[in-house]
Amino acid sequence: MDYTDIGQEIYDTAGRLREGANILYKHARAYAEAEHEYRMALARVMVELRDGGMPVTLVNDVARGKTADLKYKRDLAEVTYKTTRDMLNALETEMSGLQTLYKRQEEM
């Protein structure tokens, strides 16, 4: 890799980081919305079950069973967010390595 190639790689990686930051924000928002939807539905179902006379010892398990689809969506949104965050961290590491190479080429 020569000086120009490294500079181009740094430029491309910076663009990917900018794009990734926007994508990360979207995933973070989707995760927060999924968490909110799940928590609200869980609370609603728990109140309905208690008002319906279900024994308190069963309410928690039954409510979680009734909201399992929302919990799945929440968990999927969380994993997507965390995976995107980890990919951005990897890009930052790549950028750091490229910058080090660029400096070394400059020194030669």
| Spacing of C-alpha 88 from chain mean position | 11
For the chain, percent of residues with pLDDT exceeding 70: 100
pLDDT in tens, 32-84: 999 999 999 999 999 999 999 999 999 999 999 999 999 999 999 999 999 99
Task: Say what the pLDDT of residue 48 is.
Answer: 97
pLDDT higher than 90, residue 106: no
What value does the mean pLDDT take over residues 81-91? 97
Q: In a 10 Å sphere around its CB, with 0-12 CB exposed, 13-18 middle and 19+ buried, how is residue 77 labelled?
A: buried
